[in-house]
A and B are shown apart, each in its own frame.
Chain A
């Protein structure tokens, strides 16, 4: 059986030692820089903000739904749909970016209810 190693050294990227070690150093340095950026407090806060908002929104929705189901006067539902807290929670849960007109609508409704 003829199964000896095939000489693939012509494909060896490290044959140009200088170029290859430069490449390795560059990858390590850039990788480290990105990692250090990830470890900063502001980055951590940003990366946590989205899931925390989503969880908060989900909790708000669950609590709101439970309250609504247990409340005898369900006619308040329609009014509640435009309440700022409800609308904000819905946007956060759906990861939506509200338009300016939507924001204005919520503010107007808020003023109206007050």
Chain B
């Protein structure tokens, strides 16, 4: 994640229409947007779509980002809203993510990385929303607790606690999955 002052400068430059600023902001924050969307939606393809849509929406509403140094938190709130809306409409018309995952795993031979991905997604699904976000931003995106606390409007202590609990719960889930595979 970029330093706050650098982010703020990029946002101001983007507001003026500087092409390089758009690229740098997308390079720096699209992954985080993806992680938050994945935490809510549980499907990588959907998360990719929502991350893109949210980013475009954020660029469109850049003037309403009153505190450019808090761009990350502002962007992730847009992602959360978009992802929740997408989840609500998906629930109305679609099968749940777990069913799709189970169906895939039972009918197709999957490469190791896909198996691992399906296991991780299933394990993440058991966590609370905030713990999913914290563990994804920390362990996947490499954000610090200070950065997570700032973007998620938590205290650093809470961020650490959520991460600790999330890892513990994930390990339990993953160990359980591994033992199921061993028995099979």
Contacts and interface: CB of A to CB of B under 8 A. Distances in A.
A25 B59 CA distance: 14
B50 to A, nearest CB: 12
B26 A31 contact: yes
B54 to A, nearest CB: 10
B83 interface: no
B19 A11 contact: no
Contacts of A39: 17
Contacts of B170: 6
Main SS of the interface on chain B?
Answer: helix
Contact of B60 (A4, A13, A35): A35
Given A27-B52, A34-B56, A5 B23 contact: no
B55 interface: yes
Contact of A23 (B30, B117, B120, B163): B30
A31 B55 contact: yes
A56 interface: no
Interface in A1-42: 2-14, 23-32, 34-36, 38-39
Interface residues of A, number: 28
A13 B44 contact: yes
B113 A10 contact: yes
Nearest to A32: B22
B135 interface: yes
Contacts of A24: 23, 26-27, 30
7 contacts: A3-B163, A3-B164, A5-B167, A10-B117, A28-B23, A28-B25, A35-B62
Going nearest first, the 5 A-B pairs with the smallest beta carbon separation are: A31-B59, A10-B116, A28-B22, A28-B23, A10-B117
Given A5-B138, A13-B47, A28-B25, 20 more contacts: A4-B167, A6-B170, A7-B139, A8-B136, A10-B113, A10-B120, A11-B44, A13-B44, A23-B52, A25-B26, A27-B30, A27-B55, A27-B56, A28-B22, A28-B23, A31-B26, A32-B17, A32-B19, A35-B62, A36-B17
